Amino acid sequence: MATDGSGPLVIERILRDRHGIWQQVVADRDLNALTGKMLAASTIALACYGAVLGAFHSFLMALTSAVKLPLLFLVTLAICLPTLYLFNLVFGARLSVRQAVSMVMVAITVTSMLAVAFAPISLFFLITAPDYGFFKLLNVAILTLSAFVGLRFLTGGMQVLNEHGLLAPTTPAQVPATATPATVGAPLVEGGVPAQPVPATVGAVNGDGTAPAAVPVAAATPVPPPALVAVATQPHPQFHPAPAGFYRPQPAARVATSGQRPASMTLLYIWILLFGFVGTQLAWTLRPFFGSPDQDFAFFRSIEGNFYAEILRTIANL
């Protein structure tokens, strides 16, 4: 499969070859072309879905919603992306600007394509049950579900980047301490075997007719293979301390391993919440997208209230 995002639809590659997408982002390879394709695909998809939203009111509202819905996602990205990038740098991440933009654009592309896939269902309820409150809640639920799936792609991609060390500072590997022989009294020969005193040859005498004293000489004992030495010198958990003069290797220091999540991954979930709050408030600022049937066409409404209060009021009026 092509690795540059070429093909009839970039969403097809994202869904079928997401591992290849993550590897391309990790390698920082041809990201400008990939981001351009995702930007074009998501803009067209969001424009189509925005036209469906505005079709509830009038043809003119459909045209304005087709412009404002892609603008909503792109402006939200422009507002929140500097926060994600700079805070990742503060916590030691090594992401470039292109990598950060590409990761977020993957989430937006998946969100927009899922939303436009729900467009026939939205049109079906628009034709068969043209109720303003129900139609508005239905499409808010569709966009919320689509955004949730898109953000799942973002977190999955960030986890892959974390596995490749792009979200955490690089630390030097800790080298385990090597075993040092602890000898008491007797010298060691090769293989860790203490020297044994070997008496002189029987029958040999000194000049004065006395027998020579025993002289410690390294016994010519064959050195066992390293594997056997390693097995033989491993201390048993219930083994008592060795007596003086016995060689016992010191246990190697364990390498400290940490399974904790890096701070940049925790920051990502905080940033997702921030992205959601900014997006919903911006959507409330850019309204109307649906167009109330009892009001005339307007490109913008006066800024009053907030998105969440309006949703609760709509649910109460159903």
Domain residue spans of the chain:
10-169+260-317
Residues 41 and 11: beta-carbon distance below 8 Å: yes
User: Of 69, 122, 77, which is closest to residue 100 (Cα–Cα)?
Assistant: 77
Coil, helix or strand at residue 261: coil
20: left (phi over 0), alpha (psi -120 to 50) or beta: alpha
Report phi then psi at 254, rounded to 5.
-75, 145
Please report the pLDDT score of residue 196 as a whole number. 52
Residue type, 85: Y
> Which residue bears the tokens 């022989």?
181
Which residues partner with 198 through β-bridges? Answer: 215
Alpha-helical regions (H) of 118-248:
119-128, 132-163, 226-232
Residues 192 and 247: beta-carbon distance below 8 Å: yes
Cis peptide before 288 (omega within 30 of 0): yes
What residues contact residue 15 under an 8 Å CB cut-off, 6+ apart?
110
List the chain pLDDT tens, one digit each, 318 residues.
444 444 447 899 999 988 899 999 999 889 999 999 999 999 999 999 999 999 999 899 999 999 999 999 999 999 999 988 887 788 777 788 899 899 999 999 999 999 999 999 999 999 998 888 899 999 999 999 999 999 999 999 888 888 887 766 555 444 444 444 444 444 444 444 555 554 444 444 455 555 555 444 444 455 555 444 444 445 554 445 555 544 444 444 333 334 455 666 778 888 899 999 999 989 989 888 988 888 888 888 877 777 788 788 888 887
Please report the pLDDT score of residue 264 as a whole number. 64
What residues contact residue 314 under an 8 Å CB cut-off, 6+ apart?
133, 136, 137
For residue 202, the surrounding DSSP H or E stretch is none
What are all long-range contacts of 56-64, with beta carbons under 8 Å and residues at least 24 apart? Answer: 56/126, 56/130, 56/132, 56/135, 56/290, 56/291, 56/293, 57/288, 57/290, 57/291, 57/292, 57/293, 57/297, 58/291, 58/297, 60/297, 61/288, 61/290, 61/291, 61/297, 64/299
Global pTM value: 0.67
Residue type, 118: F
Residues 122 and 142: beta-carbon distance below 8 Å: yes
Helix crossing, 18-27 with 97-117: angle to 10°? Answer: 160
> Which residue bears the tokens 């092509």?
2
